[in-house]
């Protein structure tokens, strides 16, 4: 090979290396942006789920309320409170 052929080969190799490096850099930046969007969406979903969890816990507390259960028992099921002699304490 002649000296000019060696230079052309070296130049082409250097050019390919620069193009490959540039493509890798652009690809990595795109990946960072996409991951940023995924993280943002996950955080938004986490906040929504935490809010739903709060609402459900409040609903559970409301449904387990002694006053509510007593009202349902008396009004809908026609139950009455037992007399003291009807209560048997088990230990």
Give 12-73 as a DSSP string.
Answer: HHHHHHHHHHHHHHHHHHHHHHHHHHHHHHHHHHHHHHHHHHHHHHHHHHHHT-HHHHHHHH
- The pLDDT value recorded for residue 4 is 87
What is the extent of the structural domain holding 35?
3-81
Q: Residue 90 domain-assigned?
A: no
Q: Residue 89 domain-assigned?
A: no
Provide the residue-wise pLDDT of the chain in tens; the chain has 91 residues: 678 898 999 999 999 999 999 999 999 999 999 999 999 999 999 999 999 999 999 999 999 998 999 899 999 999 988 888 888 888 8
Its pTM surpasses 0.75: no
Q: Residue 87 domain-assigned?
A: no
- The pLDDT value recorded for residue 49 is 98
Our count of domains for the chain comes to 1
């Amino acid at each position: 090979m002649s000296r000019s052929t060696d230079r052309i080969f070296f130049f082409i190799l250097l050019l390919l290396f620069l193009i490959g490096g540039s493509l890798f850099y652009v690809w990595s930046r795109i990946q960072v942006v996409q991951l940023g969007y995924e993280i943002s969406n996950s955080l938004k979903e986490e906040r929504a789920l935490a809010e739903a969890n709060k609402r459900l816990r409040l609903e559970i507390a409301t449904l387990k309320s002694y006053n509510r259960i007593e009202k349902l028992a008396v009004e809908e099921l026609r139950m009455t409170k037992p007399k003291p002699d009807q209560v048997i304490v088990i230990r």
